Structure 1
Amino acid sequence: MSSRRPPWLLQRRFITTNTHTKPTSNPTHNPKWCVKQVSKSNFSETLENIKDQILKSDYIAVSLKKTGSHSAPWHRTLPIDTAQTAYLKAKYAAERFQLFQFAVCPFSIRDSKLIAYPYNFHLFPRDGLKLGMPCYSFMCQSSYLTSMANEGFDFNACINDGISYLSRAQELIARNRRGNPVISNLEQSSSPHSVADSLFLGRIQSRVKSWLKACKESKTGSEDALIRSLRKLMVGSEEYGSRPCLRIDVCSERHVQLALEVLKEFADDVVPMVIRAKGGGIQAVQVVLTSSKEDKDIFEKEQQCKEEDQNKLVRGFREVIDLISASQKPLVAQNSLNDFTIIHSKFLGPLPPSMDEFRTSLHLAVPHVLDISHLMDEISPLKKLNSVSAATSYMKRRFFAPIDAEIPQKVEADESKSHGYDVLRISQLFAKICSVLKISSETDKHSSSALKGYANIFNPYSASSDNHMEEDVRLSTDHPQKISTENIVFVWGFTLGTSAKMLRNQLLTSSEVLSDEFDVRILDKSCAVIAFSKPDSSTKFLEAMESGGNNCDSLSNLISEGLRAADYETYKRVCSLGLWEVKLADSLDKALETDFDGHTEDSQKESTEVYWRNSDLINLDEL
């Protein structure tokens, strides 16, 4: 790998300041930069506006505010994580925590101007339809809620006026549970009729004819009201609104097909509707009689509008997600793995078990995801910038890339709150990065090909969506290094308060199999990770640990005091089994006690290399 720096890193710092140039606007201090706050009360009117803006924009930035992220230091995505273990950590967090704010910003970039339409949607998973969805409970972290409270977040308004939603998978379940009649198409059954089928067809045909005859005779008005009521009772006639209807109870899907086959004979006068049982399946076919072809068309349109209104009520905020998905516009985010696992979990469906399946499933809804963290790696490969503010500050110090922001939409005075500004920062930072990297910010063929290499990368410590990487270990620098997972060993059971340096010295003097070419980092207070530079060193060390430190008194003493070790496969087993204890040592102990066949097809295909970057690993000595 060449160590030559890209030409833009060689720019002199003096070009970042210019007394004659108007400074770039900062959304947190510019009162003209307002994000429209959207809740249940103004959601419907906002939906029409954002629909047009999504269609006209080139990109869509997203930013989320959640009730939590991780419950222990090692639950965060670390440089030692493969794509699969990183995904499993993000999956665990997405399934536990909830979204309270979802900021969306359709934007375009013309020359040096950012044209943005920022919205901040306030969400709350309310079970308004009494269906037990989207969820009964979720977890919160006090630090996240405290941060939101310090920003002036109104929790009462969120709970009372937050927009609810259902995922696509939950919407299908909700349709069945509602039990509302739905218009069904009349189709001829293709399978031959049995004797039982013929008897059922004859009975239903006779009943429908008797019902239609009774309905026509009742219109003449020649019969007494009591006789008409008795006749309706005998044929089972009911009312659907102002129109007569007949309910045909069924006990199987076959009966539904046969009933619809009978009704095809009367297609000019009736509209068949199916009523689904709350437990699944169809419990009845309801036949509605119309007075004319015009009346039939009116009734069908009424039912379609009614069904669409009910579906909109069920979908809630997912209407916005569906608009974004339908537009096929590139989405820009920061920390895309955590954001899009929760987006998939809350709005698409349950998260699949592997990263490959997740990427495939998400691609069907959102084909292009751009993470500004990976774009920043192209500009600052020697330093990992983990936040938008840090990346913005770095860009401001090093480069002159002025971007003027314009927000055409008007915002009411009471909506000018500070919530959702991160989505503007992401949009502005993306525009600056494109300017520095000389990437056309308009979504033409050239820019699409230029940004293609940065799309759909969900491993925070990978520079490419391709997992097949060459091994390249340099333990003496702060560069991100690719290291085989076979060279990584986890150790725990050492004395509380032991630093990485102390532990390294103890291991170095306790075993003859260890040389100077290994590095130690503390992952949490209970566990450390060792990275070996030689392929066989990890195997020899694990064998020495399993033997109890034979022929090595120092190592034997450490083992007798409780020192334990495990390979990377044990760590993968921890993540696969969901052993998310607060202490990594406890999780590793449980994994060693559990029988598990981790050699699945997905794990065999997965890369066996991770990125080792000293500056990114947790070092409790420095805290």
Structure 2
Amino acid sequence: MAALIRRRLLCTSAEAAGRKLAVREVTKANFAEAVEEFKEDLAGSDFVAVSLQKTGSFSAGWHRELPFDTNDTAYLKAKYAAERFQVLQFAACPFSIRASKLTAQPYNFVLFPRDELKMGMPSYSFSIQTSHMAYLAQEGFDFNACIYDGISYLSKAQESAAKVRIGNPTPGNYVVDSKVTHTVADTMFIERTKSRVKNWKNTCKNSSSRTDDALLSSLRKLVMGTELYGSRPCMNIDVCSERQVQLSLEMLKEFSDELVPVIVPAKGGGTQSVRVFLTSSKEDKDFFERELQNVEEEQNKRVRGFREVIDLISASQKPVVSHNSLNDFTSIHSKFISPLPGNIEEFTGSLSMVFPHILDVKHLMKNIGPLRKVTNIPAAISYLNNHYFAPIDLETLHEENEGKSHRHNVVKICYLFAKLCTILKIPENAKPIDYHLLAPATEEYTNISNPLSNIPQESINEDIRIWRSNMRKISCNHLAFVWGFRSGYTAGMLKSMLQTSRDIFSEDFDVRLVDKSCAIVVFRQPGLSETFLDVVSNEDICGSLREMVSEGLRATSYQTYKRVCNLGLWEADLADSLDKALEHPDYNMEADSTTNRREILWSTDSMINFDDL
């Protein structure tokens, strides 16, 4: 009740001051204007929060990140979802924290992968998860605005390919490299091209003072290779290689007071020619260069579309705050940067070049015990409001935004982040909270993966205990997957049958259903999982376990599960995927030997308990 009163007082004071927080809805109609405002808000902020809405998240329960996933398998799951589903909404909110005041400027960019350049990009097709779309509809998502007015985009990789295929000319910079030694062929090319440029320039100047008839003027332009760009004469220097392009630009440095070079790309890549323009004065030259730069920038904006926002966030070097960083940033990388790499090491390296500082509020929440199991943002905020006194002054939302809570997620992330920083005293004893103090204090939380990435991969032989209320490190060696049991079996039934089958199950172990078809067995003692797998495959098996095996029970190690993720065997049932992985002929088991040195964080509380469904 006290927390509710505090929140109402904060809202009342905000309304009394006339401050209203509106989520700016951005479509292609107002995109150019919104980008300029976003740039200003970003420059004046300390952080920027992001939140994505996609056409789906995962196709089966085991496809989502689970407690027994290592960094590698969690990334491969996120990669599969990012490549399959499409981003329809990108909310970005520059914000600052000063004492207990949170200042936020939220923007909601509506996206649609429209092929505006008629080049088959950015996407031919994407998958849709019907339950996810139904949820968006309930939250007030405007699908008409998305399809008809959504902002298109190209990734950096797609933009480079588009520029090559479109073949737009780009300004050429004069190059002089004194270290390069010219060959005889280089010298001949330079002298021949220089002579031609001199004759062309002199002819253009002389012809401007003569009055020839139309036929002579046309013949002179044809012989000299002269064209007109507006009122400015121009000529083409044909080149056969990038080396000749550089030689041409080096040579044109001698005429830099009057001539402006432009690179004309070939349709299939490379350079077709260097086009040279003759200006009438220094003022005309400066004006023409600015004109070329403006044309190039407009073309680039048209090509990259929404990715301009991504580039602004990247260029600002501001810490990016997210609630589900692995899923969000695999989607961001896939759609706006380049295709996702095959492993998490390459992914983190590539992503850090664009976003060097990423903060996931889930990592901050791990420092508050009861929040370890909370994945819902409103639930986390409610818990903090009810158990901690950490008032954060946040402006209320406009009535026009009510009923469209999908737009509010990014604001809630900002609010939750500010709450956590205050409660965790980040930075220690810093009042007011200042970004320059906060940045180094949050360095330990800067992470794009899950909590597993903070686990040292070398120490695998420490004492491990598995309890419901705790999360413990555990080696992947201690895990085994079982499937092929009778339909309707619960985890408790499986555990009881295993306990009565062999002596190895007299030790502490845990069983949980991953989905309806497969369960995971977690052993406490080293070596028991290998013993269990040997027993299942042994012809001398006896007891209730023999009966279960005769009915189709199968078991395998964590390596097979990792193989499933590496091969992309994303069947609806994990059991089917494990079967296919074991039967796959083109996979080397030794390549997965590093799995034995990996650890996971295991908690039965965070598992999906299919017994309760």
User: Are the counterparts in 2 of residues 273 and 286 from structure 1 also a CA contact under 8 Å?
Assistant: yes
Per-residue CA deviations over 1:58-87 (Å, capped at 9, x if unaligned) read: 222211111111111111000000111111
Amino acid at match of 1:537: L
State the AA in 1 paired with 2:301: K
2:491 is aligned with 1:500: yes
How much has 1:196 moved relative to structure 2?
Answer: 4.5
Matched, 1:614 2:610: no
Q: TM-score, normalised by structure 1?
A: 0.89
Q: Select 1:77's aligned residue among 35, 52, 65.
A: 65
Match of 2:415 among 415, 422, 428: 428
- Partner of 2:366: helix, strand, or coil? helix
CA separation of 1:337/1:237 partners in 2, compared to 1, >3 Å: closer, same or farther? Answer: same
**Which of 372, 376, 383 lines up with 2:365 in the alignment?**
376
Residue among 275, 300, 303 paired with 1:314: 303
Q: CA deviation at 1:224?
A: 1.7
- Tell me the CA shift for residue 120 of structure 1: 0.9
1:115-130 equivalent positions in 2, closer than 5 A: 115-130=103-118
Q: CA deviation at 1:575?
A: 1.2
* Percent of matched pairs sharing the same residue: 54
Residue 282 of structure 1 is matched in structure 2 by 271
- Alignment-derived partner of residue 47 in structure 2: 59
Structure 2 CA distance for partners of 1:17 and 1:200, relative to 1, 3 Å: closer
Partner of 1:5: none
Distance in structure 1 (CA, Å) of the matches to 2:71 and 2:453: 12
Deviation at 1:132, TM superposition (A): 2.7
In the alignment, structure 1 segments of 5+ residues that lack a partner are 1-13
Taking the aligned partners of 2:300 and 2:480, their CA distance within structure 1 comes to 52
* 1:396 to partner: Cα distance: 2.6
Residue 429 of structure 2 corresponds to residue 439 of structure 1: no
**CA shift for structure 1 position 278:** 2.6
SS of the equivalent of 1:62 reads strand
Determine the C-alpha separation between the residues in 1 that align with 2:114 and 2:374: 36
Letter in structure 2 aligned against 1:168? K
CA distance in 2, matches of 1:495, 1:20: 54
**The one of 466, 469, 475 aligned to 1:478:** 469
Unaligned 5+ runs, structure 2: none
Output the CA distance in 1 between the equivalents of 2:114 and 2:434: 38
Query: Is 2:38 the partner of 1:44?
Result: no
2:481 to 483, 490, 498: 490
Matched, 1:343 2:332: yes
* 1:169 match: secondary structure: helix
Tell me, what secondary structure is at the counterpart of 2:49? strand
Q: Write the deviation string for residues 455-477 of structure 1: whole angstroms up to 9, x where unpaired.
A: 21521x44837556664533343
Q: Confirm whether residue 365 of structure 1 aligns to residue 361 of structure 2.
A: no
Matches of residues 448-467 of structure 1 in structure 2 within 5 Å?
448-459=439-450, 461-462=451-452, 464=454
Answer whether contact 1:214 1:232 (CA < 8 A) is retained. no
* 1:35–1:416 contact (8 Å) kept in structure 2: no
Aligned ranges 1:97-496 → 2 under 5 Å:
97-188=85-176, 191-194=180-183, 196-381=185-370, 383-406=372-395, 418-440=405-427, 442-459=433-450, 461-462=451-452, 464=454, 471-496=462-487
Moved more, 569-578 or 484-493: 569-578
Is the 8 Å Cα contact of residues 507 and 524 (structure 2) preserved in structure 1? no
TM (normalized to structure 2)? Answer: 0.91
Report the secondary structure of 2:420's partner residue.
helix
- Counterparts in 2 of 1:140 and 1:234: CA distance versus 1, 3 Å: same
Q: Give the match's secondary structure for 1:220.
A: coil
**Alpha-carbon shift at residue 399 of structure 1 (Å):** 2.2
Contact 1:510 1:554 in 2 (8 A): yes
Aligned partner of 1:567 in structure 2 is: 557
Of 59-68 and 201-210, more deviation after overlay is shown by 201-210
Does the residue aligned with 2:469 lie in a helix, a strand or coil? coil
Q: CA deviation at 1:25?
A: 4.5
Partner of 1:523: 514
Q: Which has the larger displacement, 554-563 or 304-313?
A: 554-563
Q: Which moved more, 1:281-290 or 1:346-355?
A: 346-355
Which shows bigger deviation, 194-203 or 300-309? 194-203
Q: Which stretch of the first structure deviates more once superposed, 482-491 or 467-476?
A: 467-476
Asked if 2 retains the 8 angstrom alpha-carbon contact of 1:456 and 1:465, the reply is no
**C-alpha displacement of 1:114:** 1.7
Q: Indicate whether 1:542 and 2:524 are aligned.
A: no
Deviations 1:527-570 (A, max 9, x none): 1111011111111111112224x142533332232211111111
Residue aligned with 2:454, SS: coil
Output the CA distance in 1 between the equivalents of 2:434 and 2:160: 35
On the 8 A contact 1:58/1:442 being kept in 2, the answer is no
| Bigger Cα displacement from structure 2, 276-285 vs 471-480 | 471-480
Is the 1:36–1:411 contact (alpha carbons within 8 Å) kept by the matching residues of 2?
Answer: no
CA contact (8 A) 2:98 2:434 kept: no
Change (3 A) 1:232 1:617: same
